[in-house]
Structure 1
Amino acid sequence: MNSDRRERPGPRVTVIGAGPLGSSLAFRLARSGARVTVVERDRPGCSPESETFAWVNAFSKSPRSFHDLHVEALRALERLNSEVGGGWLHVGGSLHWGDGATGNEFEAFETAVETMRAWGARIVEPSLGELARIEPDLDPESLGGRRPVHIPRGAHVFARQMAGAVLRAGVRDHGVRYRRATADGVETAGGRVTGVRLSGGDVVEADVVMVAAGAASAALTASAGAELRTVSRQPGAFLVTAPSAAELRTVVMAPRVSMRSDGGGRVMIGSSALSHLRGDQVGPDLVAETLDAARAHVPALRGVGVEAIRGGVRTVPEDGRPIVGPDPAVAGLYHVATHNAVTLGPVLAEMVADDLRGLPVAALEPYRPRRFTAPPRDT
């Protein structure tokens, strides 16, 4: 669809934030007819929320509705990638013989696998020959006799490239306006939003304001007299190796480490020990320990050092689930908050675009903001 925004009047929507979530919202909303302005204080995708392992998966996601949302998330990412291009989505699935991200014991891992099978996921137990074809850089001896599983439907994302490509496509093809400025607050009058106040004093007028600003979202929401029920900003650090001969095709989830390609022979490495640290809290001993664990599985990393330590921030809703929908008290304020914005951003953007047009979106019902204010149901 390549129609001029001026020929199709729609609601004036201001999206605060141009990370993977905000850029996806802007693209889908403008494509569906809204007049969209994006306000971002930095370049697209350069916030701490975009520094992430960005593994797209439905592994260990429950209940069933949350699992299904993640299954649909990959389809939405594929749709978005086909529309905007840019080489930021890499579909190769994942290999598991333990959960390197959380340190779960193998029994819990097996339970998660069986649950996914029961819910219809395709899970393959490759032979050693098949394993060599799926992931040539992996040393099968490092599995310690455990039989790995391959989940073909999975991917990883280069989050910064994604945010930039999606926003550029929105500007180029669907009339999105991009304002590089700091949003100081949400303006209201008579119980509804009227616009977004910028640090220089300008106001971007709006009928609807969507705050997708990560850690800044709670304060911006509060400026409108509303509350965003997030409880924490969780840090998470990752190592990125120097260029090597390793070219991982899958996301590798080993018992102590998780690994994926970061492009150009680089490998991004996470671990349970790194998962709650800021980048500046990662010392040389932990770097060496993490590298040793990765090299045990991927021999091509032996002798290869660390090029960067990246630290991201995850803003986590109070109950760990996305918050999506109109604010119960402030008209025109629409919440879109989730801690896994790279994975869920595109699928939530599709649903939000339909929701804003008044179409029924049953999949959003468990995530409405009113769940925090509704009286408890009798059980």
Structure 2
Amino acid sequence: MSRTRLVVLGAGIVGAACAREFAVAGFDVLVVDRAGAAAATTSHGEGNILVSDKGPGPELELARLSRRLWPEVLASVAERRPAGAAGAVAAAEWEPKGGIVVATTDEGAEGLLRFAAAQRPAGVRAEVLDARALRAAEPFVTERHTAAMYYPDDAQVQPAGAAAVLLLDALAAGAELRTDCEVLGAVSRGSRLTGVRTSRGLLEGDVFVNAAGPWSGELSVRLGAPVNVLPRRGEVLVTTPLPPTVFHKVYDADYVGAVGSGAGDLQTSAVVEATRGGSVLLGSSRRRVGFDDRTRPEVLAAIAAKALHLFPSLADVPVMRAYGGFRPYVPDHLPVIGPDPRLAGLWHAGGHEGAGIGLSVGTARLLRDLLLGEPPAMDATAFRVDRPAVLAGGTAQDGHGETTTEEES
């Protein structure tokens, strides 16, 4: 009996999550990437799994679904591979350590308290920390705070490691991976996508999932169904390993505003968290510069200044490296999940901006439900492809300067 051939275009964490979800469900899955697995956006993230930064609405629902699924998925991986259960999930570095949001101005405190109050009816646990409780939780945080909120459901993973866990489980379930395989154009019968032309030849399939992250817009043009997914760049500083200094994910109350901003100029806010290796990650920045991958000293300086405002004790700590990457941005700040109404056989899973690590497993589950016609884990209407923010302006040219869809006789 033949199985449905599903081709995932992109081997970042969203593509890996989709590949695993469908492979475990019995699909014949092929994952292709123009470079290597988790080699681009995924490897340049912080690994955030957050509910704290999302107001009531569909993205928060997706975040809560994903937060529930992450430990279930990792437990399932361990259960499916009992001989090496510990090693099977260790690379993900799952840490449900919670998050703390700190305001340092009266205006920021008012906004934080108001934001948390709106989240609670939507199912988010948000607990006010007084000065003593904040000091106990984060001994080195600034004393100049006006409010603090604890979010026990925030978590963290090592992004490339987590993607590897998902992808390896997909491969164990029968999926295939092809790297250094760039999609060049589409092959269709009428209005149905039946194959993609790649740098390694023609790949045919029944279903194709566009999970190319910031390159989803460019890829969609090559497939003849443009979507308005654009790159937004962010940078992170990494300190040398330290004694225990930061115990939760800690960020300032400006972070939510920076995430929700559509401005093209530089947006920065303090985001500080430790890794298992002892290094501290300092973020974050957001700016619209296309695919310009140059690191700007002034951006790194702005990140450092914001971090020191939150953790003054880091002033003399050496920074050993900085890295930056592109996040898939949609103007209405919602991901794109579901079938493309213009081209049968094409599905989209992207546009998560900086939340793709956390939202990956929920996105994959939702996509599977929709494709199989099963009751979805949540209402996916807000993520549909044919909404104005996704289709308006989605005409960016690909690297060859033209759409490469062709008709098959």
Normalising by the smaller structure, the TM-score range is 0.7 to 0.9
Which residue is equivalent to 1:365?
381
Which residue is equivalent to 1:301?
314
Which residue is equivalent to 1:351?
366
The answer on whether the counterparts of 2:8 and 2:29 sit within 8 Å (CA) in structure 1 is: yes
2:157 matches 1:157: yes
Q: Structure 1 residues 32 and 263 mapped into 2: Cα distance closer, same or farther (>3 Å)?
A: same
The answer on whether the counterparts of 1:241 and 1:268 sit within 8 Å (CA) in structure 2 is: yes
CA positional deviation for 1:286: 5.6
Q: Structure 1 residues 290 and 352 mapped into 2: Cα distance closer, same or farther (>3 Å)?
A: closer
Q: Structure 1 residues 31 and 9 mapped into 2: Cα distance closer, same or farther (>3 Å)?
A: farther
The answer on whether the counterparts of 1:193 and 1:331 sit within 8 Å (CA) in structure 2 is: yes
Question: Which structure 2 residues correspond to residues 194-343 of structure 1 after superposition, within 5 A?
Answer: 194-200=194-200, 202-230=201-229, 232-254=230-252, 257-271=270-284, 274-276=285-287, 280-283=294-297, 287=300, 290-291=303-304, 293-295=306-308, 297-298=310-311, 301-339=314-352, 340-343=355-358
Question: TM-score when scaled to structure 2?
Answer: 0.79
The answer on whether the counterparts of 2:55 and 2:119 sit within 8 Å (CA) in structure 1 is: no
SS of the aligned residue for 1:89 comes to: coil
Which residue is equivalent to 2:397?
none
Structure 2 letter corresponding to 1:156: Q
- Specify which of 107, 118, 121 is matched with residue 118 of structure 1: 121
The answer on whether the counterparts of 2:103 and 2:146 sit within 8 Å (CA) in structure 1 is: no
**2 CA distance for matches of 1:372 and 1:297?**
38
Question: TM-score when scaled to structure 1?
Answer: 0.85
SS of the aligned residue for 2:328 comes to: strand
Of 91-100 and 353-362, deviating more is 91-100
Number of residue equivalences:
355
Q: Structure 1 unaligned segments of length 5 or more: list them.
A: 1-7, 375-379
Q: Please tell me the root mean square deviation across aligned C-alpha atoms, in Å.
A: 2.7
CA positional deviation for 1:184: 1.9
Which residue is equivalent to 2:30?
37
Which residue is equivalent to 2:5?
12
Structure 2 letter corresponding to 1:31: V
SS of the aligned residue for 2:75 comes to: helix
2:93 matches 1:88: yes
Structure 2 letter corresponding to 1:260: E
**1 CA distance for matches of 2:249 and 2:147?**
16
**1 CA distance for matches of 2:389 and 2:341?**
8
**2 CA distance for matches of 1:333 and 1:343?**
24
Deviations along 1:238-267, one digit per CA (max 9) or x if unpaired, are: 111111113533100135511011331111
Structure 2 letter corresponding to 1:74: R
SS of the aligned residue for 1:91 comes to: coil
The answer on whether the counterparts of 2:109 and 2:147 sit within 8 Å (CA) in structure 1 is: no
Structure 1 letter corresponding to 2:286: S
Q: Structure 1 residues 133 and 144 mapped into 2: Cα distance closer, same or farther (>3 Å)?
A: closer
Structure 2 letter corresponding to 1:158: Q
Q: Structure 2 unaligned segments of length 5 or more: list them.
A: 78-88, 254-268, 391-409
SS of the aligned residue for 1:143 comes to: coil
Q: Structure 1 residues 279 and 306 mapped into 2: Cα distance closer, same or farther (>3 Å)?
A: farther
Structure 1 letter corresponding to 2:199: S
